[in-house]
């Protein structure tokens, strides 16, 4: 009676099994690196917002809130055809003209 030849592992299968620890190590290193980055982002110090009395050359959250309050609360009825829309447009135009005067002629 002739016995069939025993199945042999292919070279590709043996190489894949031998590379598994490297892949696992690479995944562990990648996970560690990503965890470190997430930790740094979560615990980074953020810039404190500036008040409305900050220098005009710097962005100020306080001034933005003043402009928003003026446009949203102080100027009612900003729908199309209502007088509030024209008032809001004039306010924005005045603010932009003030910025242009502050910037000087080289920024036009």
**Domain boundary assignment for the chain:** 11-46, 61-107
- Alpha-carbon distance 97 to 101, whole Å? 6
Average pLDDT, the chain: 85
pLDDT (0 to 100) of residue 46:
80
Nearest CA to 102 out of 58, 49, 50, 71 is that of 58
pLDDT band at 14 (very low <50, low <70, confident <90, very high): low
pLDDT (0 to 100) of residue 16:
63
Least-confidence region, from 6-15, 34-43, 48-57, 79-88: 6-15
- The predicted model gives 47-65 an average pLDDT of 87
Q: Is the pLDDT of residue 29 over 90?
A: yes
């Amino acid at each position: 009676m002739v016995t069939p030849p025993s199945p042999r592992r292919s070279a590709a299968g043996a190489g894949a099994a031998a590379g598994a620890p490297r892949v696992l190590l690479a995944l562990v290193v990648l996970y560690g690196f990503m965890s470190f980055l997430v930790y740094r982002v979560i615990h980074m110090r953020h810039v404190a917002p500036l008040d409305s009395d900050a220098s005009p050359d710097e962005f100020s959250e306080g001034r933005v809130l003043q402009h928003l309050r003026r446009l949203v609360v102080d100027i009612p009825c900003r729908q199309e055809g209502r007088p509030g829309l024209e008032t809001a447009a004039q306010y924005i135009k005045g603010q932009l003209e003030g910025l242009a005067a502050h910037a000087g002629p080289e920024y036009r």
